[in-house]
Structure 1
Amino acid sequence: MALLISTYNWPEALKLVLDSVLRQRVLPDEIIIADDGSGEPTRAVINAFAKVSSVPVKHFWHPDEGFRKTIIINQAIAGTESAYIVEIDGDIVLHPDFIKDHRNEAEKGFYIRGSRVLLPEGKTNRFLNSGEFQRISAFGKGIRNRFNALRIPLLAPLVIKKSKRSNNFIGANCAFWRNDFMKVNGYNNELKGWGHEDIELAARFINSGLSQKKVKLKAICYHLHHALNDRVHENINYRVYLDTLNKGITYCANGYHH
């Protein structure tokens, strides 16, 4: 199993994320970092982490030519032999049982849709400034979507939903089999700019016969607060998603193989 982390020019957040990887009770077999053109401070954080990590760390980077997350993720996945990929963003701090939970939920014929706890700005700034992430209580102040902060593995089977849904998929906490990813040709590199590259991939997963497994009360993670991304391409990308879904498209021309 590989843990895939996508990042872009936010080394302070990435450091908190990588610290949380070191605290995992069960580690992934390798960590692959898809870096969409970050500068030297990010490289320094990754190099420092690689020195203390007990599992291999691979850093995939290309020059900064705007938002090209799909391209660098496809490259990173091409660079791993792992059969199963757990994907997060570089602003997602992990609960200590995150990898363990994902390992336990992996199931043939399904891709995983996880959830995240949205951290308030004040808490996020405190963590970033101190360089230390403190444990979050589901009942703490300012926590939205508290249900996502609860880890109750015994009850998780009661709330896991299996469906043919794709429009709720988030790349910030998801997992899939590498073979399934290659079968649909990975992320669609035609989607330029922020938005909907994850649900468009999910639509092709569904069209190719997979189902979604939506996991709650397990695989907990915390999303550091930040300003919204530039959404100028969002509507165009959403139209591509609808087209993919409605036409039953299973393979994108310009993706993992292009």
Structure 2
Amino acid sequence: MDKIAFSVIISTYNAEAWLEKVLWGYNTQTFKDFEMVIADDGSGSDTKDLLDRMSKEVFYPIVHVWQEDDGFQKSRILNKALEKCSGDYIVMSDGDCIPRNDFLEVHQRDKEKGYFLSGGYFKLSMPISELISKDDIKSGRCFDLKWLKQHGLKSSFKNNKLTSKGAKAKFLNAVTPTGATWNGHNSSGWKDDILAVNGFDERMQYGGQDRELGERLFNYGIKGKQIRYSAICVHLDHARGYKTPESIAKNKAIRQHTRDSKSAWTPYGIVKGEKNA
């Protein structure tokens, strides 16, 4: 059997309704040479039941990587998921981000040695998030500006994310003031590069652990490439009970150290300790 091209890592925690919508989104992809690796930070049995059912209904293989619930330990479960990936190229997103049908096609088209890809997301309100059905995802309606406005979406420059294609998307990617950072909801890179910097820093809880990985990739010599107007996913609304001032402050200090020391390796990643120690 030929080796799979992409491993898509999706993080989740006790959010089966949103995760199901996301999995249907990946079932619409025009680029089909991928596996789905679910990084599950301690969900109950309902998530496993969902994945068992969806495995029979989608065309792509699903690998479920689970750890005991120990509070918000996303960095740890993402590292475990990385080790289970069989593809040479990793796409990372979240269990609340439904991908448009060309999402993986864009990542495939724009991937390049020496770079990681930096995408964004399009935030939806809770009423629209709840409204979206399997049929809305299969038909692509949930990415259609007219349909979204009929259901309460306000006008905004950000709506260009949904309507830009081709030259316009390329232009907006080039001129956006937003930096090409590693964003956990929509980024991709070579597995070898991510392993070379030792994955995620497991000391980090909510707030910037994905950006810190990107900063170490940059220190390693990997550049970011902007695709926020071409690789499109819609973000379903949810509460963030795990966001605390303490975790934000701790993570800011770790990121500052990464920048100041220009370090590419974290001793708190997949491998514990200094490199080659």
Q: In structure 1, which of residues 203, 217, 226 is the aligned counterpart of residue 215 of structure 2?
A: 203
The secondary structure found in structure 1 opposite 2:29 is coil
Where does residue 42 of structure 1 map in the other structure? 47
Structure 2 residue runs without a partner (length 5+) = 1-5, 273-277
Contact kept, 8 Å, 1:84 with 1:176, in 2: the verdict is yes
The secondary structure found in structure 2 opposite 1:135 is helix
Q: Distance in 1 between matches of 2:216 and 2:179?
A: 9
Matched, 1:142 2:153: yes
Q: Distance in 2 between matches of 1:159 and 1:235?
A: 32
Matched, 1:218 2:230: yes
Contact kept, 8 Å, 1:5 with 1:33, in 2: the verdict is yes
Where does residue 183 of structure 1 map in the other structure? 196
Q: Percent identity?
A: 27
Q: Distance in 2 between matches of 1:5 and 1:162?
A: 29
Q: In structure 1, which of residues 137, 152, 156 is the aligned counterpart of residue 169 of structure 2?
A: 156
Question: One-letter code of the match for 1:54?
Answer: F
The secondary structure found in structure 1 opposite 2:228 is coil
Where does residue 27 of structure 1 map in the other structure? 32
Q: Distance in 2 between matches of 1:26 and 1:167?
A: 23
Matched, 1:81 2:86: yes
Contact kept, 8 Å, 1:116 with 1:149, in 2: the verdict is no
Where does residue 254 of structure 1 map in the other structure? 268
Q: Distance in 1 between matches of 2:201 and 2:123?
A: 27
Question: One-letter code of the match for 2:192?
Answer: N
Contact kept, 8 Å, 1:170 with 1:198, in 2: the verdict is yes
Alignment of 1:95-114 (within 5 A): 95-114=100-119
Where does residue 243 of structure 1 map in the other structure? 257
Where does residue 4 of structure 1 map in the other structure? 9
Instruction: Between 167-176 and 109-118, report the one with greater CA deviation.
Output: 167-176
Q: Distance in 2 between matches of 1:138 and 1:50?
A: 31
Question: One-letter code of the match for 1:44?
Answer: D
Instruction: Rate the CA distance shift 1:162–1:74 in 2: closer, same or farther, 3 A.
Output: farther
Instruction: Between 50-59 and 70-79, report the one with greater CA deviation.
Output: 50-59
Where does residue 91 of structure 1 map in the other structure? 96
The TM-score, its normalising length taken from structure 2, stands at: 0.85
Instruction: Between 165-174 and 118-127, report the one with greater CA deviation.
Output: 165-174
Contact kept, 8 Å, 1:184 with 1:250, in 2: the verdict is yes
Contact kept, 8 Å, 2:11 with 2:38, in 1: the verdict is yes
Instruction: Between 168-177 and 13-22, report the one with greater CA deviation.
Output: 168-177
- Deviations for 1:63-116, whole angstroms, at most 9, x for unmatched residues? 101111111111111112211011100000010111111110101111111011
Question: One-letter code of the match for 2:208?
Answer: H
Query: Whose helix fraction is larger, Structure 1's or Structure 2's?
Result: 2
Contact kept, 8 Å, 1:153 with 1:217, in 2: the verdict is no
Q: Distance in 1 between matches of 2:218 and 2:174?
A: 15
Instruction: Rate the CA distance shift 1:155–1:230 in 2: closer, same or farther, 3 A.
Output: same
The TM-score, its normalising length taken from structure 1, stands at: 0.91
Where does residue 275 of structure 2 map in the other structure? none
Contact kept, 8 Å, 1:35 with 1:59, in 2: the verdict is yes
Return the offset for 1:131: 8.4
Return the offset for 1:127: 2.4
Instruction: Between 14-23 and 148-157, report the one with greater CA deviation.
Output: 148-157
Contact kept, 8 Å, 1:162 with 1:211, in 2: the verdict is no
Q: Distance in 1 between matches of 2:51 and 2:136?
A: 17
Question: One-letter code of the match for 1:214?
Answer: Q
Instruction: Between 112-121 and 50-59, report the one with greater CA deviation.
Output: 50-59
